[in-house]
A and B are shown apart, each in its own frame.
Chain A
Amino acid sequence: MIKIETGAELAPKTFKINRQLLIEYANASGDQNPIHQDETFAKSVGLPDVIAHGMLTMALAGKYLSDISGSQNVLEFSAKFIKPVVVPAGADVSLIISGKVTDVVEGIAKIELLAMCDEVKVLGMAKGAIKI
């Protein structure tokens, strides 16, 4: 296991997002906005297709943090939703999360996360603080 020290690069992980996962996230989170499930509706409001919940992308990035420290040790987590994750019917979209340790002070590590989909950055300023 990699040592959590300033400058350490954390290995990327790939998360699969598909229409079924969007339905499951909608049911688990209570966010039933049709832009995340209904292609006709999504296109009617100017979107290219159904898009993933920004909060699903963030939840998966949160899982990346939990995999480092355990969920109980995630203290802070923030991100901007800069690009939508488009999820076409029948497709598995790959979300690739990687991280870098930017600071370690008194047992708390700051992690900068990179979330990429089709070589496009989908989260901006994604940062977590974890107890190590």
Chain B
Amino acid sequence: MKIKSQRDFWSGLMFVVVGVVFAVGATNYSMGSSARPGPGYFPLILSVLMAILGGFVLFKSLTIETEGGDPIGAIAWRPLLVIVASIAVFGLALPRLGLAITVPILIVMTSLAGDEFKWKGVLVTAVVLTVGSWAIFVLGLKLVIPMWPSFLGG
């Protein structure tokens, strides 16, 4: 059997798999009865429905011809990995290093995701955004965000 639409094939598969996972999960909770629905009642209905819909999508992707096979195309690994890693690093660093150090790290890291990387521009952006986010979030909105590294007692 030939896949006629790559995008639909994989999304259909995704819906089926997630549906089955949620359905199995729902069996851990009490179903109740129709008259007194338990916590597992609604999730089970939903997940079964989704798996069925996913099945339809899957079926369509194998039967209905599309132009050029509807390929998924190249995956932008670099932006994907860099941005996700930057967010994770931000989460790790902020409580420990404070805003003053975390922001420049984040800016330099995320800038690596683009096609162009010029130190001068990146550093200027980093400084402007560090001061800017301090002014907006700490000074302006009075949000509680650590400013300096925790080992400095700040």
Partners in one complex: no
Interface residue ranges, A against B (CB under 8 Å): none
